[in-house]
Structure 1
Amino acid sequence: MTRTITSDADDKVKDALTVIADPKANPTQYSNAMYALGQGIGRSLASKINLTESVSLACTNEDADYLTKGIIEVLESQGCNIALTCFWNERQKMADGLPDIAPIIKRYQEPNALKATTLIVVKSIIATACVVKTNLTNMIHEGQFERVFVVAPVIYNQAIPKLKQEFSEDISKRFEYVYFAEDSDMNPAGEVVPGIGGNLYVRLGFKDQQDKNKYQPNLVKQRRAMFINAP
């Protein structure tokens, strides 16, 4: 089992990586660690992006309340204006060895999300990259982004080359990556080891993907209310 820790990982991040890899961590401990990892990603991004410009951020609904919330809070505390897009994806395994697909079944999108020149795509772990590919394709097709940050606490060591292959060079050359751990092992179930400690849905307290896709993140509820109540 080989894991490489990046220079972006400070002590708080390393502690949080240990928690999410621990199968004994309960959903509350796990979600708190994901929030801390989001804050760590936010700190790393703050030194890389123009905080005076609006930034578009895209995430999945399961990553919204903890990982994404941590990122947004750090960036907004430094004056960055975030426009959020949240996707509900339904991951499907294909027959005959074909790559998995992850169609979008629902999305929440704020004004100006497609007008920014910088895009941040958030995922708790990037392994096969099928969810990131789907959501990234959707955003790039509709927006005009000059810089694209693909961010996750943990990635599989084959994920970045695989993601690049899914896009033309004109698009993939815009990609920049922020992550804290790179793992080289994957178990027979297709889970990266140690990764994020198994199935994200279960670790966060959901029964399965269907249960996860019924969930409306608190982050989305709060931000939607903010726009509805705006003068």
Structure 2
Amino acid sequence: MTRLYSDLCHADTRYWLEVLADKSIEPRKYKEAMTEVGRRLGDSILSKIDDVQGDVYLACTVEDADFLAKGMLSSLEKHLSKISFACFWNERFSPFEIEDLKVAPILKKYQEPTSKNIKYLIVLKSIISGACVVRTNLVNLIQKIEPEQIFIAAPIIYKHAEQKLKDEFEKKIYDKFQLFYFAKDDERTCEGEVIPGIGGNIYLRLCFEGQSHKNEYIPEIVIARRSQFINRNS
């Protein structure tokens, strides 16, 4: 097992990655760690944004919304004026029980309206391994918006994830990608768990009973933003 840290990962961030990887850590601390690494990913992305007035669209999955995405938004909102948000509920499975052949259809989504032309699209995920969730959600997004730049962000990626993403898209799309991550792991179990990754199954670490349970959950951040949007337009 080898973990390679990116240039974005500093000593304090390594501490939070170790918290995520520790399977004995209680859920409260795990959630805190997810929020912290989200904030630090946001800081890293801010350093690459040269137009603070440009439209930014942040998209995440339901399990990442209240912690990882919340942390990133807390960083971005301090400096950026136009941030829209999307959340996806995906069901991840493989009809062939092969990790790299998994699919992740969208069961439902919360998607804030925005202009068609976006300066920066950020697709956020707690870990990228087979990349099927990122691929599915990104394809859905670019059917409606045309981003100038696409930032793919995750605390941890599997060693083959970047090439996997590249293989899934046409060059004109992939050329817009910038990948932001803190560590790259090179081991994955036959069940698809990246080692040490984020310490196992994120659904269970965040106190969901499984994939079906997390897909019934409405994130607090979605409830709050939807309420703000309705009040703003009423």
TM range (shorter): over 0.9
- Given that 1:55 and 1:82 are in contact with CA atoms closer than 8 Å, whether structure 2 keeps it comes out as yes
1:76 equivalent in alignment to 2:77: yes
Per-residue CA distance 1:91-142 (angstroms, 9 max, x = gap) = 1122274710000000001121644221000000000000000001111122
Deviating more after overlay: 22-31 vs 106-115 = 106-115
Report the TM-score, using the length of structure 2 for normalisation. Answer: 0.95
Query: Match of 2:59, as an amino acid?
Result: A
Per-residue CA distance 1:116-171 (angstroms, 9 max, x = gap) = 22100000000000000000111112211110000000000100001110111111
Q: 1:229 to 1:96 in 2, by over 3 A?
A: closer
After TM superposition, the structure 1 = structure 2 runs for residues 1-231 of structure 1, keeping only pairs within 5 Å, are 1-49=1-49, 50-95=51-96, 97=98, 99-112=101-114, 114-230=116-232
Task: Give % identity.
Answer: 45
* d(CA) in 2 for partners of 1:19, 1:79: 29
- Structure 1 SS opposite 2:225: helix
Query: Match of 2:128, as an amino acid?
Result: I
* d(CA) in 2 for partners of 1:26, 1:209: 20
Report the TM-score, using the length of structure 1 for normalisation. Answer: 0.97
* d(CA) in 1 for partners of 2:101, 2:186: 19
Query: Match of 1:95, as an amino acid?
Result: F
* d(CA) in 2 for partners of 1:4, 1:96: 28
Per-residue CA distance 1:15-61 (angstroms, 9 max, x = gap) = 11000000001111111000000000010011101222120111001
Q: 1:134 to 1:111 in 2, by over 3 A?
A: same
Query: Match of 1:4, as an amino acid?
Result: L
* d(CA) in 2 for partners of 1:48, 1:197: 29
**Corresponding pairs, count:** 231
Structure 1 segments of 4 or more deviating over 4 A?
none
Name stretches of at least 5 consecutive residues in structure 1 with no aligned partner: none
CA-atom RMSD in angstroms: 1.3
Name stretches of at least 5 consecutive residues in structure 2 with no aligned partner: none
Could you tell me how far 1:71 is from its partner in structure 2?
0.6
